[in-house]
Chain A
């Protein structure tokens, strides 16, 4: 197990190193002239050159990459141009809020989608199965800001049940915070529901048709015991892998949902950095998101390997 973990960790580090080169290339080499982007088309050439020199952009590209990445590794992620503050503390503070929203969405999504998949799989083609499949697919195909708008119009404005403002007032308790975050979280849940639901459902269908299930039924076990003791374990394993694969959509969804609901997380920070052409902040946000996403994926893979006896024993 330890060797497996180390191997995956090494692979992740290589991927992140290449990703950091890509971020660097896209934010500093590709645009050609950062000073021009920051100052706009009407600034004088001298001003542009001065800014480029001040930011050290007139040096060789490998030197600049080394400068940036060694700063990143020692905790100096540079200065935000638009907010005039250090990038790393700001990004970390915003990341905390985003993780709260993401965890909330996952905590709603995983049990509900799995339960719905299990129920639908038991009665394939039944009313619940069909309605849930159609509703799930419809929202799964919709961009999360469209779902968010529909939620706001229905629950925020017409019914007036939920606050439209995602950020709770200062000093709000946990319940109030969760109430404010419910609509943003639901936008993410509806985006990801269909895939997870389908995996759980098809896992159920496969395992219910398996020989060992027939044996269990024929030897007289009550259906609830058959499902709980025999079917669920095998049916849900593939579903867990899918959760890992969905994290990318969840993170991307954060950028959009936070912007729609005006929630100050890492996603809306990155959007603001893009709007303001704040290149150091943009690069920092992209790097932080990629690192967190990479480790979350790794964690999902490890949980899967640990839960799956076939993989677990092969490693020992």
Chain B
């Protein structure tokens, strides 16, 4: 479970990226985080994962405050950043080995997980190549694999579908569902509303650093009293903000 209580973040002293945000993301559900470009999605995710420091407010992951015990919090999170262009001079397997050591994964566990994931994503033959030679989608897959090595109880994904081929995208969605069903937390940001509509149990819509709506899709339809697609509801919600 992730809890954000009164979290704010300002860039350069003037631009308020996240404004007094309150959000609870429970385990056992796929939670979609939606919003237009520059709404504060990535900033929020970066604060949860410890990349950015919140100016004020509290962030807890499974009850542990990121400020008091950051390493413990980070160990529970598997994180997929929005750009997979990193560690390009490492081989795929080297990257996975590095991540496994960072997350303290035993030799046995990492062997099983890497074998399983490589097979699922069709990456077996390229693990010995440098990431530099990978396509965007393959880079995305290696990062996805790296985020699951320690079987995290909280999985956070920033725009995870970008660049994935249909098959991998399908497998990813299945994995998200499986993890949520086993009681784990799955939190991902997207602006592809079709994906969100199909797989999310709950969504939060953020614009200009503030949460406009948080709940199930049905709740959203009920509150607007319209039986419309998520796209229309989203457009209406964010338009009113303009």
Query: Are A and B subunits of one complex?
Result: no
